[in-house]
């Protein structure tokens, strides 16, 4: 996930984009507090720092890699079922392989490191899955700010070390919003928003495991 930048400058859209559906608006409102909290996590805060180090960045990638390593297999299985129910052009691009490659560019083989198994929300119903996907797709938008900063501070780019933070595609975000709109009025909106809030909280707790040993929250 790419954070440390406000979503309202990107996911809210602009005058040339279709109006957000009721479900999307509810998701944006429900997740705003936990989104802002996650942005302030000590692991993520250095991402936009002018003194960002490779070790800071490597720590972020390792934390995300462990998260997606466990998250994506059940997510992809359930996504096949959901997209088969709708005539959609939406396609989820797996993040785990990108994170593996980025870490390899930094000289780290993720498979050789101790891993933390994150807690994950259930994705066995459509509402829960869509809530998770809303967070994952929304998070990629931060990469539009983070990736250029990584190029300036660390000399990395889309071919070396910044594949994950280059994953955002405008078409993908619009296609996902169209998929959400297809389910407007067909799902329990509270189940969707609960899942989105839950995964934000679970990611925050997961990141706690990667804090440097000499640092604790105040």
C-alpha 117: how far from chain center = 17
Give a yes or no: residue 122 inside a domain: yes
Give a yes or no: residue 126 inside a domain: yes
pLDDT of residue 38: 97
pLDDT of residue 113: 81
Q: Could you tell me the pLDDT band of residue 161, with boundaries at 50, 70 and 90?
A: very high
The more confident residue out of 19 and 101 is: 101
Distance CA 41, CA 63 (A): 12
Asked if the model's pLDDT at residue 39 lies above 70, the reply is: yes
Asked if the model's pLDDT at residue 43 lies above 50, the reply is: yes
Domain span at residue 172?
A: 20-208
| Percent of the chain residues past pLDDT 90, beyond the cut | 71
Give a yes or no: residue 213 inside a domain: no
Asked if the model's pLDDT at residue 14 lies above 60, the reply is: no
pLDDT of residue 7: 40
Distance CA 200, CA 79 (A): 19
Q: Could you tell me the pLDDT band of residue 21, with boundaries at 50, 70 and 90?
A: low
pLDDT of residue 114: 77
Copy the structure tokens of residue 42.
């000590």
Q: How many residues make up the chain in this entry?
A: 218
pLDDT of residue 218: 40
* Domain containing residue 108: CATH number: 1.20.910.10
Give a yes or no: residue 217 inside a domain: no
Give a yes or no: residue 170 inside a domain: yes
pLDDT of residue 82: 85
Give a yes or no: residue 149 inside a domain: yes
| pTM of the entire predicted model | 0.87
Task: Count up the domains in the chain and report the number.
Answer: 1
pLDDT in tens, 106-131: 999 988 887 888 888 889 899 999 99
Give a yes or no: residue 33 inside a domain: yes
Give a yes or no: residue 216 inside a domain: no
Question: Of the candidates 148, 60, 75, which has an alpha carbon nearest to the alpha carbon of residue 110?
Answer: 60
Distance CA 175, CA 180 (A): 9
Distance CA 42, CA 91 (A): 32
């Amino acid at each position: 996930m790419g954070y440390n930048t406000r979503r309202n400058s990107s996911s809210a859209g602009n005058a040339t984009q279709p109006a957000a559906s009721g479900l999307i608006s509810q998701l944006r409102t429900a997740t705003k507090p936990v989104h802002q909290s996650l942005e302030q996590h000590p692991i993520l805060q250095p991402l936009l720092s002018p003194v960002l180090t490779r070790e800071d960045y490597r720590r972020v990638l390792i934390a995300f890699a462990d998260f997606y390593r466990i998250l994506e297999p059940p997510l992809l299985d359930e996504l096949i079922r959901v997209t088969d129910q709708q005539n959609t052009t939406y396609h989820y691009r797996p993040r785990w392989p990108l994170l593996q490659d980025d870490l390899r560019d930094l000289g780290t083989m993720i498979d050789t490191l101790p891993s933390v198994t994150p807690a994950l929300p259930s994705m066995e119903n459509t509402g829960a899955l869509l809530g998770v996907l809303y967070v994952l797709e929304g998070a990629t938008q931060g990469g539009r700010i983070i990736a250029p900063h990584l190029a300036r501070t660390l000399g990395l780019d889309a071919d070396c070390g910044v594949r994950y933070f280059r994953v955002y595609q405008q078409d993908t975000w619009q296609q996902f919003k169209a998929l959400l709109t297809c389910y407007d009025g067909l799902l329990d909106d509270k189940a969707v928003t609960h899942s989105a809030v839950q995964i934000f909280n679970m990611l925050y707790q997961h990141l706690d495991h990667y804090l440097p040993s000499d640092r604790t929250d105040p």
